[in-house]
Structure formats: structure tokens, C-alpha cells
Structure 1
Amino acid sequence: MIGSALRQRLAVNTSAPSAARRLLREWLAALRWPVEGIDDLVLAANEAVSDAVQHHYPDGSSRVAIRFDADVAIRMDETSQVVITVVDGGRWQPPPASSGFRGRGMFVMRAVCESVQFHATDTGTHVVLISYPVPARSSTPLPEPRPPAPGLESPPPR
């Protein structure tokens, strides 16, 4: 993994998905991740966090924070992938027999990520989202532009 990882704890409430979207979008933009990839990952993370809030705490009894982490992995083929992990302290809830217009979150996550993994344990549910690979970018910042050579400065504005 390279760069600075995103490590957050989100309160289990209806503002958690918007907080996750904002944090992830800012983090990915700072990494100069491709814009179309940012949109896909923000959508997938929104679904995972929304599921943690809506499905894993159905009676409001558990208020353990949602762990929301993201990191970048460099692959052997010199491409990069973002790995997002969403962990909650609730119990996996099977989808209802009739979900009406709801229940598309897993489909959406799988449509925009190369890999989506779900792990239900006695202590909670782990969702791991792995982006499609993109060409690796240097973690070294770009150098500052050099000042113009003497005598080549721009004339003052008129």
C-alpha cells in the first residue's frame, strides 16, 4: 500500500453515508484518482455504509461505530487499486423475500467494483470493495514550476 490511508470511524446514523462519500471523494481526489473511478467507488462505499446503518442495526440496539478504511495497493503489473473496508458490529440480515424497489445495493457494488467480498462474523460484518485497476501513479508530488528566466517575465497587466 502507498500514500496515506483513510481511516475513519463513522457514527451509526443516517449521516454516515454522506460522511463516507465526502471523506472518500476528498481522499481519492488528493490521490489524483481518475474521476470516473472516484464516482464508482463513492457509489459503492455509499451502498456499503448505508447497508451497515439500515440493515445491520434494525432495532437500533447496537451503536458500535462503523469502521471505514481505504488504501491503495500497487499490483505486480504496475497498476493501482483502491481497497475499501466497511466493518460494523451488527449481524448480517438476509434480504427480505419481497424488497420492493429496495435491495439493489449488492448488485450496484458488484457492478462498479472488480471485487466485492462479504464476511459475516460473530462480531460484525466486513465488506471489502476492490476497485478496477488503473495505471499506477507516482506517490511523489510533482515538482514546483521553475520561475521564469531573468528577462522573460510577463509584462505587467495594462
Structure 2
Amino acid sequence: MSKTVRERLTADAVAPSIVRRAFRDWLCELKWPEEEAEDLLLAVSEAVSNVTDHAYPPGRAGEVLIEAECIPGNDGQRRVVVKVADDGTWRPPPAWHENRRRGLPLMRACTSAMDVRGGSAGTEVTMTSRPVAAALVAERNEFSN
């Protein structure tokens, strides 16, 4: 079982689905509880979608880097820490996005902690899952799709 996952993808319309599939498989391998896994999948997918929608201007190809690690705690619990990064520039959302702007609150609601750092070299979003008891993780045998 790999305690880490790393994906570097072209930041395009298919990147979120590729990440969801890889991340789902990884969480399944970790025997992560289904409800918590669904929240993480939603948060990671949203972060990758934000890169594809906002990090790069039209006509400029870019990449998105996803790194995740399962970290055991001293208290018998585990957490997953996920970083989603790009080397684009922060762009204001287009006018047609006025009623959307729910991505960051959604990611915060699906995780126990989230940090966004942006600058001229790109943006990095770090999300930490809610803790999962090690006993619960060991008891789960399947992740349903």
C-alpha cells in the first residue's frame, strides 16, 4: 500500500476526472471510510477544476500537480494531506462565473483544514482530511463507486 500519491497532469477539462479516478483508487487501497473518501474526492476534484478554469489564460498550456500523503497520528488516527499546485497566475473569474464562486467554501466544508497560497509563481492549495480512526480504516474492506 502506497502512503503517497503524486500526479502531474495537463491542466485541461479531463484532468479532474483523471485525478478522481486515481485518488479514488488510492483511498480504496488505504481502506478509507466511504463518506470521508467522498468528501476528499469532491474537494480534490474542485481544486483541480479551479486550476483548469482559473490558473492559465486562454491559449497557454499549463500543468497541475497533485500530491497526497496518508499521515498516521500519535493518537491512533490517520489524516490525508493533499496539495494541488499550479504555476499559473491568479485571474479574476469571468463575469459569467458571478453566481458560481462556491469552490473554496466547498473545499473547506469537505476537509478539516484548507490553506490557499498564491503568488507570481503559482497557487498551492493544501487540504487536510478529517481524522479517521485507525481501527475504522482497518475494518473497511471496500470502497464503493
Name the TM-score, length of structure 1 as normaliser. Answer: 0.79
Q: CA RMSD in A?
A: 2.3
- Structure 1 residue 57, shift from structure 2 partner: 1.1
Gaps of 5+ in 1: 141-158
Residues 37-76 of structure 1 mapped to structure 2, 5 A cutoff: 37-61=36-60, 63-76=61-74
Check whether the contact 2:46–2:103 (CA below 8 A) recurs between aligned residues: yes
Q: Deviations over 1:77-134 (max 9, x none)?
A: 2210001110101112345688433110001001110001101132110000110001
Q: Distance in 2 between matches of 1:80 and 1:47?
A: 23
CA distance in structure 2 between the aligned counterparts of 1:94 and 1:13, rounded to whole angstroms:
18
Partner-residue secondary structure (3-state), 1:32 = coil
User: Between Structure 1 and Structure 2, how many residues are aligned?
Assistant: 138
Between the two proteins, what is the percent identity of the paired residues? 38
Gaps of 5+ in 2: 139-145
CA distance in 1, matches of 2:87, 2:101: 21
* Structure with greater proportional helix content: 2
Q: Which structure is richer in relative contact order (CA contacts within 8 A, separation 6 or more)?
A: 2
| Structure showing greater Rg | 1
**Is residue 7–residue 70 contact of structure 1 (8 Å, CA) maintained in 2?**
yes
Distance in 2 (CA, whole Å) between partners of 1:97 and 1:79 is 43
Alpha-carbon spacing, 1:96–1:74, altered in 2? closer, same or farther (3 Å): same
1:95 & 1:54 partners in 2: Cα distance?
9
Of 129, 132, 135, the residue aligned with 1:131 is 129
Cα pair distance change 1:119/1:44, threshold 3 Å:
same
AA at the equivalent of 1:39: E
CA distance in 2, matches of 1:139, 1:42: 17
**3-state SS in 2 of match to 1:23:** helix
Does structure 2 retain, via aligned residues, the 8 Å contact 1:90–1:125? yes
